[in-house]
């Protein structure tokens, strides 16, 4: 295993449990457990929650410093726990790996070069922030999504290049911490700022791997090319997680491990093509969660479409937003008019990161809109929105929220 991500560590633990020999190679001890728990999902969401809790009377700089310290404490515990998870079960190697032949890897460690030959190699080195060719991008106080988590001092005026989910999450986070934030996207905009966050996507972490030596091909974006069973062009070599060019989510990496495990131990039938209705959430305030098709896409796909959209503040059957004081947002559903099956949803509301999973499951198992609409849900809960919003489905008119 090269790279201690979600797929790699889960495969390593399961493989070791069968009594087989496993080596886990990780370039940096700060990345035990992978990107998600060390620099991405978990630490950023911890900072987002801290930012949302800041009161007007809290000094921005002092509060930010304390929030970062809390983040670091949490991540340190998770990093150590992930190391303990494999300690004694796999050979743990700290160092930079590169291929020197088919399924043969040289690792530069603090104690010298270590050569590892294996029947199966799994690449899971992930992705790193993209560095576009912009004048001044290497200046001090120009951050990426990793380094800005330890920005010092807290930016008074922050400019963010990129309006994807990473850029928007950091925009709201730093606004709540007390920064004045401007988001820039494909424009000749000039703004004054004392710090810049470059959130212009992520690129595969393949620079050190010497893929050519193993006959491993990449696609036109530089990601490792794989088939639907995550096999690379080199026999016995798989690529999992962000490095293979699929959706860059931890839960996709976890599913990647299931596909590879099925190749190694199971029937070999599991495939990326099996994935249906994969949800996503951008952690704004409130969070924005989406799954499936919107109405325009559904029409293009040949469906006769029913559509409903309702502001959260006006959903009488959903009192939870009013109870917690977060009534912003809108909920939309796209439904097939003939089968009444849910085709997609966009939930911009409190608790959407949980509610979207129910909707995704409904799509996968072909639960109808009527079954969701007539569901018996706990009260008060955000799920109750289904009772009301789905009761207002109308033929799609070409306009959406």
Domain boundaries, the chain: 6-129+203-274, 142-200, 280-395
374 in Cβ contact with 381 (< 8 Å): no
Catalytic residue among 150, 176, 257, 379: 379
Token duo for residue 302: 């040949």
Residue 399 scores a pLDDT above 80: no
Residue 398 scores a pLDDT above 90: no
Query: What single-letter DSSP state applies at residue 187?
Result: S
Q: Cα angle at 36 between 181 and 238, to 5 degrees?
A: 130
Please state, in angstroms and rounded to a whole number, the distance separating the CA atoms of residues 227 and 244: 10
Of 57, 48, 191, 285, nearest to 181 (Cα)? 191
Residue 78 scores a pLDDT above 90: yes
What does the DSSP assignment read for 334-367? EEETTT-BEEEEEEESTTHHHHHHHHHHHHHTT-
The CATH fold of domain 142-200: FAD/NAD(P)-binding domain (3.50.50)
Please state, in angstroms and rounded to a whole number, the distance separating the CA atoms of residues 10 and 254: 8
- Indicate if 142-200 has the same CATH topology as 6-129+203-274: yes
Please state, in angstroms and rounded to a whole number, the distance separating the CA atoms of residues 350 and 327: 8
CATH of 280-395, one of 3.30.390.30, 3.40.50.920, 3.20.20.120, 3.40.50.170: 3.30.390.30
Please state, in angstroms and rounded to a whole number, the distance separating the CA atoms of residues 186 and 161: 9
At 388 the three-state DSSP class reads helix
Torsion angle in degrees (nearest 10) through CA of 41, 47, 52, 53: 130
Of 211, 275, 218, nearest to 249 (Cα)? 275
347 in Cβ contact with 288 (< 8 Å): yes
- By CB atoms closer than 10 A (0-12, 13-18, 19+), residue 64 is buried
Residue 188 scores a pLDDT above 80: no
Strand partners, 26: 94
* Res 400: pLDDT: 75
| Per-residue 3-state assignment (H helix, E strand, C coil) for 49-66 | HHHHCCCCCCCHHHHHHH
C-alpha 123 chain-centroid distance: 18
Residue 373 scores a pLDDT above 80: yes
* Res 372: pLDDT: 98
Residue 368 scores a pLDDT above 90: yes
- What is the percentage of the chain residues whose pLDDT exceeds 70? 100
Give the mean model confidence (pLDDT) for residues 239-249: 97
* Res 350: pLDDT: 98
Which pairing describes strands 288-292 and 342-348: parallel, antiparallel, or unpaired? antiparallel
Token duo for residue 61: 């700089």
At 309 the three-state DSSP class reads strand
CATH number given to 6-129+203-274: 3.50.50.60
Which tens digit of pLDDT belongs to each residue from 198-216? 999 999 999 999 999 999 9
Long-range contacts of 38-42 (CB under 8 A, 24+ apart): 38/75, 38/78, 38/79, 39/145, 39/146, 39/149, 40/145, 40/250, 41/250, 42/74, 42/75, 42/78
What does the DSSP assignment read for 155-169? -SEEEEE--SHHHHH
CB atoms within 10 A of CB 232: 23
Give the mean model confidence (pLDDT) for residues 24-33: 97
Listed in sequence order, the residues at least 6 apart from 325 whose beta carbon sits closer than 8 Å to its beta carbon are none
Give the mean model confidence (pLDDT) for residues 75-100: 97
Query: What counts of helices (H) and strands (E) characterise the chain?
Result: 11, 19
Token duo for residue 311: 């502001």
Which tens digit of pLDDT belongs to each residue from 140-165? 999 999 999 999 999 999 999 999 99
* N-term to C-term CA, the chain: 45
Strand partners, 122: 238
176 catalytic per annotation: no
Of 311, 342, 341, nearest to 329 (Cα)? 311
At 395 the three-state DSSP class reads strand
Please state, in angstroms and rounded to a whole number, the distance separating the CA atoms of residues 279 and 152: 35
Residue 401 scores a pLDDT above 80: no
């Amino acid at each position: 295993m090269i790279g201690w991500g979600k797929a790699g560590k889960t495969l390593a633990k399961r493989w070791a449990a069968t009594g087989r020999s496993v080596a886990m190679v990780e370039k940096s001890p700060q990345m035990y457990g992978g990107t998600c728990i060390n620099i991405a999902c978990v630490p950023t969401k911890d900072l987002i929650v801290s930012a949302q809790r800041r009161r007007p009377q809290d000094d921005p700089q002092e509060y930010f410093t304390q929030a970062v310290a809390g983040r670091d404490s949490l991540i340190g515990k998770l990093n150590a726990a992930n190391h303990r998870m494999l300690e004694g079960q796999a050979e743990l190697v700290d160092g930079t790996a590169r291929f020197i032949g088919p399924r043969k890897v040289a690792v530069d460690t603090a104690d010298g070069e270590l050569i590892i030959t294996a029947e199966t190699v799994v690449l899971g080195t992930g992705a790193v922030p993209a560095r576009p060719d912009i004048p001044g991008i290497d200046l001090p106080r120009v951050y990426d999504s990793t380094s800005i988590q330890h920005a010092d001092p807290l930016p008074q005026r922050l400019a963010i290049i990129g309006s994807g989910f990473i850029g928007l999450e950091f925009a709201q986070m730093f606004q709540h911490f007390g920064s004045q934030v401007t988001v820039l996207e494909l424009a000749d905009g000039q703004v004054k700022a004392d710090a810049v966050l470059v959130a212009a996507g992520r690129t595969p972490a393949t620079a050190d791997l010497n893929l050519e030596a193993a006959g491993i091909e990449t696609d036109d974006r530089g990601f490792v090319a794989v088939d639907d069973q995550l096999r690379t062009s080199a026999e016995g070599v798989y690529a999992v997680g962000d490095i293979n060019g699929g959706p860059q989510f931890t839960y996709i990496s976890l599913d990647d491990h299931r596909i590879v495990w099925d190749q190694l131990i199971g029937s070999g039938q599991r495939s990326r093509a099996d994935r249906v209705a994969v949800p996503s959430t951008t952690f704004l305030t409130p969070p924005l969660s989406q799954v499936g098709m919107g109405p325009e896409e559904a029409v293009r796909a040949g469906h006769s479409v029913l559509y409903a959209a309702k502001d959260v503040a006006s959903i009488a059957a959903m009192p939870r937003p009013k109870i917690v004081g977060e009534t912003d947002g809108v909920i939309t559903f796209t439904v097939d008019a003939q089968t009444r099956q849910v085709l997609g949803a966009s939930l911009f509301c409190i608790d959407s990161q949980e509610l979207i999973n129910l909707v995704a499951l409904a799509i996968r198992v072909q639960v109808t809109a009527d079954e969701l609409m007539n569901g018996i849900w706990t009260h008060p809960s955000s799920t109750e929105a289904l009772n009301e919003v789905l009761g207002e489905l109308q033929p799609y008119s070409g306009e959406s929220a």
